[in-house]
Amino acid sequence: MTRIEWHDGLNLGIEEIDEQHRSLIGMVNDVLEAFEKGEKDTAVDRMLGQLHEYTVLHFNAEEKYMEKIEYPHIQEHRQLHAKLKGSVKSLRAARFHYEEVTPETIKELISSWLLEHILREDYKIVQFVKQGGTKDWSENIKE
């Protein structure tokens, strides 16, 4: 499985959030490497644990940010976060019951869900900010 490379197109221009997105990709690459070494179950479990922590931390930061800039689509965005958290939670529950979760499932969750989320949904936040956003935020941009 190929590694996921960070590229500038993934940058949202909001340092705190970009940093967290980069660390997510780092996490994913670590787990892909572990899969290649044959550490399947332990890598899956570790990844799910990290993803759980990450989603809580990162989504909270992002939601706080959306509140701060009075992002108009915050409710929909929150729901998407809840959905992602739900996927991680159900995979963790499956592992708790010793069900198999394949590396492919994890990779799919990451690439189609999280990366698409960054590119599509998080990007909408940036667009909102760039188009003027709230008064508070446009003052920040001029700095």
**What is the closest distance, in whole angstroms, from the C-beta atom of residue 132 to Fe ion in the complex?**
21
**Closest by Cα among 37, 31, 50 to 105:** 31
Which residue, 22 or 41, is less far from Fe ion as judged by CB?
22
Q: Applying CB under 5 A, which residues contact Fe ion?
A: 62, 122
Beta carbon of residue 84, minimum distance to Fe ion (angstroms, whole number): 8
Q: Which two tokens stand for residue 50?
A: 């990290």
In the bound state with Fe ion, the residue whose beta carbon lies nearer, of 14 and 62, is 62
Closest C-alpha among 19, 18, 2 to residue 104: 2
Tokens of 63: 């939601």
Residue 17 C-beta: closest distance to Fe ion, Å:
8
- CB neighbours of residue 65 within 10 Å: 17
One-letter amino acid at 101 equals V
Alpha helices in the chain (DSSP H): 15-36, 40-68, 74-96, 103-108, 116, 123-130, 135-141
Nearest-CB residue for Fe ion:
122
Query: Which is closer to Fe ion, CB of 24 or CB of 62?
Result: 62
The smaller minimum CB distance to Fe ion, of residues 62 and 110, is found at 62
**In angstroms, what is the minimal distance from the CB of 100 to Fe ion?**
29
